[in-house]
């Protein structure tokens, strides 16, 4: 199916789909909404060299060096860049006003030349704009959104409200090492039926935080879902609530003390049905170890205490999120985890074309 036909198909679905709970969006029954969310997955078009991508800053802003790095990275991948009008705005710790960051996103969705939306960085600010997004517009123009950290909230909200597959992967300004590039290439620039996301050791990393570990053995299969722990916990109790039931979950964070990791995992255990996940793949939690000499539990002790007795496979130390080498996870695609091989096999392509 080509992109034009696919967009027409998406518009037909929109006549019956529902996106309740958001400004400017109307819907049908709550039961119908739940059915659509549970059964509909929309795959965006694959990227090709020469395509135009929209570069936006939906969270925090970047300095000029970060901006130049992002442009260079995207050009190196053979992509043309359309910059958001407010890409370099600053409002304190935010990349401009909420309404301006939303306007940039909406403009990228309306522009048919823009084939994907790349977030220049994470930081903070996405949760502020989620109720302001026009999910009917987004659903009518299914495009991949790429990023991680705070972008977790944007990827999840769009998938929840529209079914569009999002991509938890490198932000515009990096990383762009050979491993990260290869993982992104096979997921977003190819429509292979069974791509394999392989474990990559963190060479040069010192300490227990960089040491992979099987917290609970076993293999698992389910729909990939997850992202940054702080953001997943922050969505609890909101209209964009994250649900782990039946999912192959991936979770990571950076710079959080063990007691905060404990608190956020406890929130997900109590609110997001995390015990009903098919399996949990944890990233490298850099900067999350307890200070030497403190009476804190260690990071690994917290993870084992909170996740080790759920009766599902749990692995620590996979390469995604806040790491120097990063794989790309397509959110909403069925996958299989092999504990022995330390590999995630996608059971379907993440893109069409």
If you ran DSSP here, which 8-state letter would residue 46 be given? P
Between 58 and 1, whose confidence is greater? 58
Q: How far apart are CA 282 and CA 303, in angstroms?
A: 9
Q: pLDDT tier at 146 (50, 70, 90 boundaries)?
A: very high
Name the active-site residue from 60, 141, 149, 156: 149
Q: Is residue 321 part of a domain?
A: yes
Contact 43, 76 (CB under 8 A): no
User: At CA 249, angle to CA 246 and CA 255, rounded to 5?
Assistant: 150
Same domain, 155 and 284: no
At 28 the pLDDT is 30
What confidence score (pLDDT) does residue 292 get? 85
Residue 322 designated active-site: yes
Which structure tokens are listed for 179?
A: 């491993």
The Cα–Cα gap between 229 and 173 comes to 22
Instruction: Based on the fold, state whether residues 170 and 203 are members of the same structural domain.
Output: no
* Pairwise CA distance, residues 274 & 229, whole Å: 12
Q: Catalytic: which of 86, 141, 168, 322?
A: 322
Residue 149 has pLDDT above 60, yes or no: yes
Least confident of 32-46, 108-122, 135-149, 288-302: 32-46
Give a yes or no: residue 184 inside a domain.
Answer: no
Distance CA 14, CA 140 (A): 7
Q: Report the CATH number that the domain containing residue 10 is assigned in CATH.
A: 3.40.50.10740
Query: Is residue 39 domain-shared with residue 117, that is, in the same domain?
Result: yes
Question: Is the pLDDT reported for residue 1 higher than 60?
Answer: no
Average pLDDT over residues 314-342: 95
One domain for residues 5 and 95: yes
Active site includes 33? Answer: no
Tokens of 294: 């403190």
Neighbours of 297 (CB within 10 A): 16
Task: Write the Ramachandran bin of 198: left for phi over 0, alpha for psi from -120 to 50, otherwise beta.
Answer: beta
If you write DSSP's letter for every residue of 77-142 in order, what string do you get? TT-EEEE-TTTT--BTTBSS-HHHHHHHHHHHHH-TTEEEEEES--SS-HHHHGGGS-HHHHHHS-
Q: How far, CA to CA in Å, does 317 sit from each of 102, 199, 218, 226, 250?
A: 34, 9, 16, 15, 11
Q: pLDDT (tens digit, 9 = 90+) per residue, 32-86?
A: 345 344 458 999 999 999 999 999 999 999 999 999 999 999 999 899 999 999 9
* Residue 207 C-beta-side C-alpha neighbours within 13 Å: 13
Phi, psi of 316 (to 5 degrees): -110, 140
18 and 145 assigned to the same domain: yes
Beta bridge partners of 251: 227, 282
Of the candidates 160, 187, 156, which has an alpha carbon nearest to the alpha carbon of residue 40?
Answer: 160
* Residues 230 and 81 placed together within one structural domain of the fold: no
Kindly report the pTM of this predicted structure. Answer: 0.89
Which is it for the CA torsion 179, 303, 333, 335, positive or negative? positive
Are residues 209 and 160 part of one domain? no
- The CATH code of the domain that includes 307 is 3.50.30.60
Given the residues 86, 141, 225, 252, select the one marked as catalytic: 252
Active site residue 241: no
Q: What is the pLDDT of residue 209?
A: 86
| Residue 299 in this model has a pLDDT that exceeds 80 | yes
Cβ atoms < 10 Å from Cβ of 91: 14
| Residue 353 belongs to some domain of the structure | no
Pair 125, 244 in one domain: no
Position 315 in a domain: yes
Domain assignment present for 234: yes
pLDDT of residue 235: 98
Question: Could you tell me the two tokens for 335?
Answer: 């996958």
Count of domains in the chain?
2
Question: CA quadruple 161, 343, 200, 44: dihedral positive or negative?
Answer: negative
Q: Range of 21's domain?
A: 1-174
Average pLDDT, the chain: 89
Let me know: does 7 contact 142? Beta carbons within 8 Å: yes
Reduce the DSSP state of residue 68 to 3 states and report it: helix
Q: Give the tens place of pLDDT for each residue, 213-247.
A: 999 999 999 999 999 999 999 999 999 999 999 99
């Amino acid at each position: 199916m080509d992109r034009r036909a696919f967009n027409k198909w998406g518009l037909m679905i929109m006549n019956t789909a529902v996106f309740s709970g958001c400004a400017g969006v109307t819907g049908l029954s709550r039961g119908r909404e739940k059915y659509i969310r549970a059964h509909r997955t929309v795959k965006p078009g694959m990227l090709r060299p020469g395509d135009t991508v929209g570069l936006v800053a939906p969270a925090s802003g970047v300095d000029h060096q970060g901006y130049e790095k992002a442009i260079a990275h995207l050009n190196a991948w053979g992509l043309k860049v359309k910059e958001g009008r407010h890409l370099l705005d600053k409002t304190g710790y935010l990349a401009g006003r909420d309404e301006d960051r939303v306007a940039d996103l909406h403009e990228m969705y309306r522009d048919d030349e823009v084939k994907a939306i790349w977030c220049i960085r994470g930081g903070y600010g996405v949760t502020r704009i989620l109720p302001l997004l026009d999910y009917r517009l987004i659903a009518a123009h299914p495009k991949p959104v790429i990023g991680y950290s705070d972008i977790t909230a944007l990827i999840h909200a769009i998938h929840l409200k529209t079914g569009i597959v999002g991509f938890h992967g490198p932000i515009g300004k990096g990383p762009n090492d050979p491993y990260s590039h290869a993982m992104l290439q096979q997921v977003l620039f190819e429509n292979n039926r069974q791509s394999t996301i392989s474990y990559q050791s963190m060479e040069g990393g010192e300490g227990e935080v960089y040491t992979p570990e099987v917290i609970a053995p076993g293999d698992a299969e389910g729909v990939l879902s997850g992202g940054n722990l702080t953001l997943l916990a922050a969505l609890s109790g909101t209209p964009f609530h994250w649900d782990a039931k039946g999912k192959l979950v991936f979770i990571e964070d950076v710079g959080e003390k063990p007691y905060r990791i404990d608190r956020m995992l406890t929130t997900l255990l109590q609110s997001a049905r995390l015990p009903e996940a098919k399996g949990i793949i944890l990233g490298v939690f850099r900067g999350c170890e307890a200070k030497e000499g403190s009476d804190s539990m260690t990071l690994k002790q917290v993870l084992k205490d909170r996740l080790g007795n759920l009766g599902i496979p749990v692995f620590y130390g996979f390469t995604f999120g806040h790491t120097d080498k990063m794989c790309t996870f397509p959110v909403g695609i069925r996958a299989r985890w092999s504990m022995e091989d330390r590999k995630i096999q996608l059971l379907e392509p993440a893109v069409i074309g």
